[in-house]
Structure 1
Amino acid sequence: MSTPMTSEFDGKQHDQATPVNEFVETNPEYYARTFRIIGEQTGFAWTFNWAAALLGPVWFGMRSLWKWGLPFVLLEVFAYIQIARGWFGDLGAEALDRIVQIEGTLAFRKEQLAAAIEKQAENVPVFERAIASLEQAIIDIQAEAVAAQAAGMKIALAGLAMLVLVKIVQGLLANSILEKRYFNWLSDRSLASGLSTSRTLSSAGFVLLTVIVSVVHYAFPGRFTTLAQFPTTDRIRRTAIEWVENFFNWVTEKGDWLFSVITTGIRWVLDNLELIFVDTPWVVVASFIILLTALSAGRRAAIFAAAFLAYMGFLGFWEKAMTTLALLGTAAVLSIIIGIPLGLFCARRPRVYAVIRPIMDFMQTMPAFVFMIPVIAFFGTGKPAAVVTT
């Protein structure tokens, strides 16, 4: 009777191991056993992944776990920078540069002192005190440079300790993070799984590039100016500006009829709203706004609305406020006219939505004044341009 039970248990183990094999691809027995240990623990499961500890962010990138990989990249880069600064960097270089600057000032003050002594001027003691102060500053900075250079080994050891600590943390967290990813993958097989050559190469290349460039830049400042300043020239900038100007001129010339039609439509809506809000007696407009506020938000909100309307009226801002309200109303009407059909179309066309969404996300992150540049180029200045910008 024991044989069938054993066979059944082995079959269950095989069924459970099959998804793990497909998910991890490498060392499936280790991960199946580790995932089982993690699942049996109610708290944090103390497991250690040597591959994650040694490879660090590269391992997380290989497993498509960049949510964790990127912070570890930053931590490791900082540690490598400290190691390179401590062992190879010239920590006293900045202090020596300051000494060179002070020596130039000191030489100038000595010339002034010599001229003052020759003329027997009254400000000789002033120059003497200034020279003494500069000489003392040089002595202090020299001591600072020596101390900074002597602290190099401490900085390197601190960076090494930080690197080891980060490696240990990565090794401790890796299995738990991958186990959560595994269960998410079981419910959504579209998530990346296994290992691929492209992910491995891209992860290794990204991490190596980040580490090498950062270490060279911060540990050896000033040696590679290309790393500090983007490699461009005045000719490239002028050419780019010329291209942009030519593009705007071409669009303005070819699309003049379209922008005229849009401007006419905006002007028509805006004129009608201004007729409603500005030319209508203030009592009617205020009563209408207060009533709508009371119906939609309650009595307390209506009281606040009445107070704000009274504030604008008594201070002489009523007409300007109503003009602004007409501008906002026009922008809202245009947004509804364009947004609702476009939203329905995107809902039925996922490919169109995939193109529109990043554009909308980008536009939401931009401040409103950024859009004023193309709007003024296409629509000129005035209220229609203000509506489009809004």
Structure 2
Amino acid sequence: MSDHSAWDEAVSRFAGINGSYYRRAFRRIGERRGYVPSFNVAAALFGPVWFGGRRLWSAFWPVLVADLLAAVLIAFALSGGASGEQGARADRLATLAATRLAEARTANDADPGSAMAKSLTRSAAALEQAAKDARQAAEDARSGASLIVAIGGGLLLLARLAAGGLADHIAERRFREWRLEGDAGKAGFSLLHAAGAAGLLAVFVPIVFLHFADRTLFDAVPSDPAWNSAAAARLNAGVAAVSGAASPVAGRLTAAIDAMLGLMEGILTGTPWPVVMAVILALAWQLAGFRVFLLTFVAVSYLAILGYWEKSMQTVALLGTAALISVAIGIPLGVLCGYNRRVAAVMRPLLDFMQTMPAFVYLIPVIALFGIGKPSGIIATVIFGIPPVVRLTALGIASVPAAVREAAVAFGASRTFILFRIDLPTAAPSIMAGVSQTILMCLSMVVIAALIGAKGLGEDVLHALQYAAQGQGLLAGLAILLCAIVLDRIVQGRQSP
């Protein structure tokens, strides 16, 4: 059998239905580079049903969403659009205006020219004008319904034209993948999947039209408030039980963090400010060079001149404690994840949870376990800041070339030697990037940590938010920004741009 005949047979097995059409279309697409004009009438007519039957899911969902969006626009316009709401509002205002006018007449009959009668008359006139404006808005919305129908129809037509013009190209790409992989599940036309796609349309489109025909039909999700209350009560009991059981350990952990924070804060705030400032500038020069030294000088001058020096040192102490704990836990954990894929698979959803969960949510169990104060702020900051150093350390360890390790093993190197003399130095750029990201993530928590008793610059930003002191908030925010920039440049060292 010739290669041409084998190719034709493969296309026929892949297409399943109307194989001759797809042989011509695939041959035309394969002979030329770039986009080749082609239009699949079946894909244009049946849209998501065709893509579902072909199991081309990357195109199925966009076409389905476009169809549903067009249905929403058309149903919204046919139901009157916003004119129904405006008309109901106009009727309510007209009823209220009539009531207010009757009250004004009664007051005027009782005491002609009284202030109450005049006030009620003005109120009735204002309500009548508002009702007229609402009716005019309803008329404008009703006149715009035809435009919305045209937009919905145009969207549907455009989506189907795009589906027809791209269907053969998407199917041809899937055919090439099928020939390489030999996956029988990607060949042929699946009537079951096509029926499923058609069922989705048969369910969703009527629901859309029924909803706009009667806005109260699917207005609210059916729920039972008692379920929420019962679940919250169980969680309260669970948190109380865990808090009571963990109170001895939590107390010792709080004391340890408090002692560490007190030592660092005492060093930064108790030492005379010229000494601390000189040490910071010397570190900037030594570790990162002259440009970062100038940046650090500008930053510390800003903090000192505007009176933020002591609070910035409190913030640095809070940040330093949280960052040290994060790095001390994160680097060994990242090394373990880099060596062991199972541990990495277990840690990945936990790290995702720690980064995506809003900080205000996990402040609740932290407060329940550790109370209000600086240690709780540090623990919340550690939870938020530890994922970057774990991820980037694991990435750095996993990226060490296997040939380097094999050469070390061939020369008789131990596991400890490989870890400390090969893997960690090779992965050092990635690890330092993780440390820098952790520091910045921890610094971004200072305002949130101020909500539970942490001091520092976050307290000034919090007060500015409470009392709408825009200037004070901007000055404190700029101080936090300068601290972040300086710390990031010093940690990155001479590799910083």
Aligned equivalent of 1:344? 335
Kindly tell me: are residues 157 and 318 of structure 1, through their superposed partners in 2, closer, same or farther at Cα, counting changes over 3 Å?
closer
Q: Kindly state the Cα deviation for residue 316 of structure 1 after the two structures are TM-superposed.
A: 3.6
Q: Which amino acid aligns with 1:162?
A: L
Aligned equivalent of 1:216? 210
Q: Kindly state the Cα deviation for residue 376 of structure 1 after the two structures are TM-superposed.
A: 0.9
Aligned equivalent of 2:48? 57
Q: Kindly state the Cα deviation for residue 235 of structure 1 after the two structures are TM-superposed.
A: 1.4
1:69-148 matches, within 5 Å, as: 69-87=60-78, 92-118=83-109, 119-121=111-113, 145=138
Greater shift in the superposed pair: 242-251 or 280-289: 280-289
- Counterpart selection for 2:170 from 167, 177, 181: 177
Q: Is structure 2 residue 6 aligned with structure 1 residue 14?
A: yes
Aligned equivalent of 1:330? 321
- Counterpart selection for 2:239 from 241, 248, 267: 248
- Counterpart selection for 1:36 from 2, 27, 51: 27
Aligned equivalent of 2:285? 294
CA distance in 1, matches of 2:175, 2:253: 53
CA distance in 2, matches of 1:136, 1:322: 61
Kindly tell me: are residues 339 and 56 of structure 1, through their superposed partners in 2, closer, same or farther at Cα, counting changes over 3 Å?
farther
2:207 is paired with a residue whose SS is: helix
- Counterpart selection for 2:268 from 266, 271, 277: 277
CA distance in 2, matches of 1:257, 1:25: 69
Kindly tell me: are residues 307 and 99 of structure 1, through their superposed partners in 2, closer, same or farther at Cα, counting changes over 3 Å?
closer
2:330 is paired with a residue whose SS is: helix
Q: Kindly state the Cα deviation for residue 387 of structure 1 after the two structures are TM-superposed.
A: 1.0
**Deviation by residue 1:125-177 (Cα, 9 ceiling, x = unmatched):** 87667656655665665566567557656654553343222211111122323
Greater shift in the superposed pair: 237-246 or 182-191: 182-191
Preserved CA contact (<8 Å) 1:24 1:193: no
Q: Which amino acid aligns with 2:36?
A: A
Gap regions ≥5 residues in structure 2 = 382-497
Gap regions ≥5 residues in structure 1 = 1-6
Kindly tell me: are residues 24 and 261 of structure 1, through their superposed partners in 2, closer, same or farther at Cα, counting changes over 3 Å?
farther
Q: Kindly state the Cα deviation for residue 88 of structure 1 after the two structures are TM-superposed.
A: 5.5
**Deviation by residue 1:58-83 (Cα, 9 ceiling, x = unmatched):** 44456565554444333222211233
Q: TM-score, normalised by structure 2?
A: 0.64
Q: Kindly state the Cα deviation for residue 181 of structure 1 after the two structures are TM-superposed.
A: 4.9
Q: Which amino acid aligns with 2:3?
A: G
Q: Which amino acid aligns with 1:74?
A: V
What is the RMSD of the two structures over their aligned residues, measured on CA atoms?
A: 3.8
Q: Kindly state the Cα deviation for residue 97 of structure 1 after the two structures are TM-superposed.
A: 0.7
CA distance in 1, matches of 2:284, 2:55: 51
Kindly tell me: are residues 147 and 388 of structure 1, through their superposed partners in 2, closer, same or farther at Cα, counting changes over 3 Å?
closer
Aligned equivalent of 1:4? none
Aligned equivalent of 1:165? 158
Q: Which amino acid aligns with 2:164?
A: G
Q: Which amino acid aligns with 1:121?
A: G
- By relative contact order (CA 8 Å, sep 6+), the higher-ranking structure is 1
Q: Kindly state the Cα deviation for residue 34 of structure 1 after the two structures are TM-superposed.
A: 2.9
Q: Which amino acid aligns with 2:243?
A: T
- Give aligned-pair identity as a percent: 34
Preserved CA contact (<8 Å) 1:77 1:215: no
**Deviation by residue 1:11-43 (Cα, 9 ceiling, x = unmatched):** 35526864x678766666654543332233333
Q: Which amino acid aligns with 1:164?
A: L
CA distance in 1, matches of 2:118, 2:282: 81
Name the count of aligned residue pairs. 378
Preserved CA contact (<8 Å) 1:46 1:172: yes
Greater shift in the superposed pair: 103-112 or 88-97: 88-97
Q: Is structure 2 residue 364 aligned with structure 1 residue 382?
A: no
- Counterpart selection for 2:345 from 354, 359, 369: 354
Q: Is structure 2 residue 299 aligned with structure 1 residue 308?
A: yes
Q: Which amino acid aligns with 1:386?
A: G
Q: Kindly state the Cα deviation for residue 106 of structure 1 after the two structures are TM-superposed.
A: 2.0
Kindly tell me: are residues 116 and 271 of structure 1, through their superposed partners in 2, closer, same or farther at Cα, counting changes over 3 Å?
closer
Q: Which amino acid aligns with 2:348?
A: R
Preserved CA contact (<8 Å) 1:89 1:220: no
Q: Kindly state the Cα deviation for residue 302 of structure 1 after the two structures are TM-superposed.
A: 0.9
Q: TM-score, normalised by structure 1?
A: 0.79
1:228 is paired with a residue whose SS is: coil
**Deviation by residue 1:343-363 (Cα, 9 ceiling, x = unmatched):** 233334434433432332243
Aligned equivalent of 2:387? none
CA distance in 2, matches of 1:84, 1:244: 43
